[in-house]
Chains A and B, each alone.
Chain A
Amino acid sequence: MYRVDITADLNDEDETGYLWTFLDEARDPGQITPGALVVAGDEDIAAVCQVVDLAPAGDGTIVHLRLLPGLVDDYRQLVERALAS
C-alpha cells in the first residue's frame, strides 16, 4: 500500500513521451515543481518519477513526469545504504 505524492495512471503517456497527470491530484501541489522527485501512482502501483514540466490542459494543469527506473523499494534500499554508518 503506497501513499503517493501525486495520483496517476502509470500507463498514461502523451505526445511528449512522458507520463502525465493533473496537478490537483497531488497531495501538496506546491511540491510539484520541475526537477522534483515524487512518488506517483496509486495505493497499489507506484513509481519514483521526476517532474519535467507543467502545462495547462482542460480545466487544470497537467504535470509531465519522467518515469525513473527501479521500484520504490529500490530507492529505499539505496538511501539506507547511503546513510548506513
Chain B
Amino acid sequence: MADGRIEQRLRLRAEPPLSKATVLVRGGPDTQDKLARHARRTARAWSLDGQPLLGVSVFAVLDISLDELLSARFATYRMIHLPAAARLRDRGFELLPTGLRPHYTVRLRRADSVELDELLAALGPPVANVQYARSTIWREEGRDVPRRHHRRPQ
C-alpha cells in the first residue's frame, strides 16, 4: 500500500478479456460532474502500477442474467447505462477486472472534460431499469430478498 493507496495490479482477477458483446451495467444517469467525482474517489483509494487509478465502476453481465443482476444490485436505480464492452474499448477505455467478479473498473487516463465526455458517450444514454424497486425489504405482496450477484461460474 505505497502512499496508502490500495495497489490493484496484483489484485486484478486473472480472467480473459470480456467479449465485445458483453453487456455492462452502470447505475445512472451519469453526468460529467458525477463521473469526475467518482473517478477521483477511486484514485484517492486505489493505485495501479504505483499511480493513482482514475476509474469508475461497472458490472458485466456474466454468469447470471441481466435481470438477475439488475434485481440483485441495481434495484435502487430508475435509470441505468447498458453499453456493450466494445463501446468502451473502441473509445480506448480499459476494463480492469477489479474486486469480485463481475465488477470492473473503467480506467480513465486524465478524467478531464474531454475524456469524461467520451466516457459519457461510450456509456450511452440511460435507459429505464426494468428491475427498479423489484428488490424490497417487505411489501404487502411479499417478495424474497434476491440472491447475491457474486455467483460463481457454472
Interface residues of A (CB under 8 A from B): 9-17, 20-22, 25, 41-42, 45-47, 56-60, 62, 67-71, 74-75, 78
Chain A residues near B5 (CB, 8 Å)?
A: 57-58
Interface residues of B (CB under 8 A from A): 1, 3-6, 11, 26-27, 34, 37-38, 41-42, 44-46, 56-59, 73, 75-77, 98-100, 103, 133, 135-139, 145-146, 148, 150
Instruction: Tell me if B146 and A15 are in contact (CB < 8 A).
Output: no
Choice from A17, A45, A78 contacting B77 with Cβ under 8 Å: A45
Instruction: Tell me if A59 and B44 are in contact (CB < 8 A).
Output: yes
Q: Which residue of B lies closest to A62 (CB)?
A: B45
* Contacts known (A9-B41, A11-B56, A58-B45); A45 close to B76, Cβ less than 8 A: yes
Report the minimal beta-carbon distance from A40 to chain B, rounded to whole angstroms: 10
Q: CA–CA, A11 to B41, complex, Å?
A: 12
Report the minimal beta-carbon distance from B104 to chain A, rounded to whole angstroms: 10
